[in-house]
Amino acid sequence: MNRSSDFRQKEVINVSDGRRLGFVSDVEIDLEQGRVEAIILPGVGKLLGFFGKDSEFVIPWDKIVKIGEDIILVDLDERYLRRYFD
């Protein structure tokens, strides 16, 4: 079992194109169900989560393929990525 703080240490990589998406800045938790709903990355252009765009990159839990010691692998299609990175 992982703690939510453990996610902040992990880099997120998209398996479909090898793109490095960044590091987890937060997690979205459904307290009633007691489960993680999504991981959140800072928006493009943010510096240390403080300066830049206000948008966040939310990756739903069902898009996560594998959680390793250092990385989280996700499977996102190009259309989903374009909303955040273009």
Domains in the chain: how many in total?
1
The range of the structural domain enclosing residue 50 comes to 4-85
CATH number, residue 51: 2.30.30.240
- Among candidate residues 16, 10, 18, 70, the one with its CA nearest the CA of residue 40: 10
Residue ranges in the chain whose pLDDT is less than 50: 1, 46, 52-53
Report CA torsion sign: 23, 29, 35, 37: negative
Q: What is the pLDDT of residues 39-56, one digit of tens each?
A: 999 876 545 555 544 578
Q: How far apart are the first and last CA of the chain?
A: 35
pTM score of the predicted model: 0.79
Residues in the chain: 86
Residue 85, phi-psi category: left (phi > 0), alpha (psi -120 to 50), beta (remainder):
alpha
